[in-house]
Amino acid sequence: MSVQNVVEIEPVGPALSVVLGKLQAAYRADPAPSYEQRVDRLSRLHAGLMEFKDKIIDAVDQDFDGRAHAETMLAEILPILEGIRYYRKNLRKLMGQSKRHLPLMLMGAHAKVHYQPLGVVGIVVPWNFPVFLGLSPLVGALAAGNRAMIKTSEFAPNTADLLTEMISKHFTDEEVVVINGDVSVATEFTKLPFDHLVFTGSTPVGRIVMRAAAENLTPVTLELGGKSPVIIHDDFEIEEAAKRVVFGKGLNAGQICVSPDYVMVPRGKVDAFVAAFVKAFSHRYPTLAANKDYTSIITERQRDRLVENIEDAKAKGATVTAINPSNDSFEGTRKLPMHLVTDVTEDMRVMQEEIFGPILPVIPYDTLDDAIAYVNDRDRPLALYYFDWDKARGEKILNETHSGGVCINEVVTHVAVDDMPFGGVGPSGMGHYHGKEGFLNFSKAKGVVRKGKLDGNQCVGAPWDNKMFKLLVNFQLRRFRKP
């Protein structure tokens, strides 16, 4: 296949609309791709990933200046392959038209929902999982029969180049195109009249993107960020909870949209949690600076932001525990040790902004209702984690809080369940991908009524004082006497 779908950044405007025009024309020429065509596209994505996976892992490592290879395999490559497998297995059923019931007045006709591709889907990707967050929405878009344009993150340029190479090799520029570039390109990209736009990134930029999409009335899926809380119940063993939180918070050094942002522990257990967390973290990451398992911060700017937030918390009276088990020096690296922050106050930046790095405030609470109220007083988060063996209290949390997703006695891994929708709520996002909901997100569910040879309207239509119509209305009113 040619490399025609390697698109250079300049000139920005016309080039992007020309690229989209080509995808739209190709879609119009073949608007109803069969099951086999969709599976073929998914299979080519699978083949591309298998071919490029080692190079992708190296590229992400380079972009981060140190990203654990295992994390790229675990959190980027494998979940995409899993997603492809899910749709290959379930696509026929998902594509099937679903029969629906008709109201009595339409007796004799048939009703069904026809799931139709939307056309061309735009996908905007952040830097933190630069492969998964581009290709996982792509999997759903392709399964639903769409074509796609992907805008990679400017902060993961090596990965972006490799994705471009991989997609150009396995897809034509009438199927999928990768666009690379900075914010100016992203701005132009999000103004394009896509049939659907998936944006993964920060909440402030999400607002800008939604405004741009509104000009075209382009429907959006916004996968945003936020502060995902952890609540640990008094009955749950604090050491066990700390170990489980360490697993998720350590991944990508906290640079995950669903990373635990702060932990709420019963008052009186703050010190015990801090001690248990330090022990569990030091066990998993005995060294940091030269440890390939511990990921660096993506850019100097992001690292500075995190350091400033730690300094801000200290200046405002917080107690900060830096976990640096072998007293490493971080000179010449972009790594940042994990920091636990206690004695926090609401005016600290760590309590106002999404943390998105290796900092974890620990906040005491008195009653479970207090903890729930604390969460509900703030923006609805992307994820919520609750530690408790009691199922009834788990249900209470599900019923009384809002969040994009929930893990009970666990953190982060709900993202990896393909058979479940993934997405935020309110300020943490809207719309879903993955699973059946992802297929629906990228499809138009078109309601269709098919009339047979017998046309009841001939008997009941105007003039409306006809006998049949009156009979039918009276019969209906008798049916509806009770709700």
Which residues does the annotation mark as catalytic? Answer: 223, 257
Q: What is the DSSP string of 299-327?
A: -HHHHHHHHHHHHHHHHTT-EEEEE-TT-
Identity at 13, one-letter amino acid code? G
* Residue span binding ligand NAD (CB under 6 A) among the ranges 142-150, 203-211, 357-365, 392-400: 203-211
Candidate list 56, 118, 124, 383; residue touching ligand NAD; CB under 6 A: 124
- Which has the closest alpha carbon to 33: 108, 145, 187? 145
Q: Which is nearer to ligand NAD, 258 or 289 (CB)?
A: 258
Q: Is 127 in the site for ligand NAD (CB under 6 A)?
A: yes
Closest CA to 231 of 368, 427, 337: 368
Is 248 a residue that touches ligand NAD (CB under 6 A)?
A: no
Q: What is the smallest separation between the CB atom of 32 and ligand NAD, expressed in angstroms? A: 30
User: Could you tell me if 209 and 431 are in contact, meaning their C-beta atoms sit under 8 angstroms apart?
Assistant: no
| Cβ closest to ligand NAD, residue 151 vs residue 414 | 151
* Cα distance between the two ends of the chain: 61
Q: Does 338 bind ligand NAD (CB under 6 A)?
A: no
Among 175, 354, 379, 418, the residue binding ligand NAD under the rule CB under 6 A is 354
Question: Which residue is it, tokens 């119940």?
Answer: 233
Interface with ligand NAD (CB under 6 A), residue from 356, 385, 386, 387: 356
Q: Which stretch in 23-31, 204-212, 282-290, 405-413 sits in contact with ligand NAD by CB under 6 A? A: 204-212
Q: How far apart are CA 416 and CA 433, in angstroms?
A: 12
Alpha helices in 238-390 (DSSP H): 238-250, 270-284, 300-315, 368-376
60 binds ligand NAD per the rule CB under 6 A: no
Q: Is 187 an interacting residue with respect to ligand NAD (CB under 6 A)?
A: yes
Stretch that binds ligand NAD, among 223-231, 322-330, 344-352, 367-375 (CB under 6 A): 223-231
Per CB under 6 A, 382 contacts ligand NAD:
yes
Whichever of 135 and 265 has its CB closer to ligand NAD, that residue is 135
Provide Rg for the chain, Cα atoms: 26
Is 342 an interacting residue with respect to ligand NAD (CB under 6 A)? no
Evaluate whether 236 touches 436 at the Cβ level (below 8 Å): no
414 contacts 402 by C-beta, under 8 angstroms = no
Interaction between residue 224 and ligand NAD (CB under 6 A): yes
Amino acid at 115: Y
Nearer Cβ to ligand NAD (394/421): 421
Residues 6+ apart with CB under 8 A from 24: 119, 120
Q: Tokens 């700017």 label which residue?
A: 301
The residue written with tokens 């600290």 in the block is 348
Bond preceding residue 463 cis, omega within 30 of 0: yes
Number of residues that bind ligand NAD (CB under 6 A): 28
d(CA 159, CA 402): 34
Q: Is 153 in the site for ligand NAD (CB under 6 A)?
A: yes
Q: Say how far apart CA 203 and CA 206 lie, in whole Å.
A: 5
Of 20-28, 184-192, 264-272, 306-314: span binding ligand NAD (CB under 6 A): 184-192
By CB under 6 A, residue 473 contacts ligand NAD: no
Q: Which residue is nearest to ligand NAD (CB)?
A: 225
Q: Which stretch binds ligand NAD (CB under 6 A): 46-54, 120-128, 166-174, 276-284?
A: 120-128
208 scored as a contact of ligand NAD (CB under 6 A): yes
In this chain, which stretch among 69-77, 195-203, 390-398, 463-471 interacts with ligand NAD, using CB under 6 A? 195-203
Residues 168, 138: Cα–Cα separation, whole Å:
14
Q: Count CB neighbours of 32 within 10 A.
A: 9
CB of 73 to ligand NAD, least distance (A): 18
Q: Please tell me whether residue 410 binds ligand NAD under the rule CB under 6 A.
A: no
Q: 3-class DSSP state for residue 118? A: coil
Binding footprint of ligand NAD on the chain (CB under 6 A)? 124-128, 133, 151, 153-154, 183, 186-187, 190, 200-202, 205, 208-209, 223-225, 257, 354, 356, 382, 424, 429
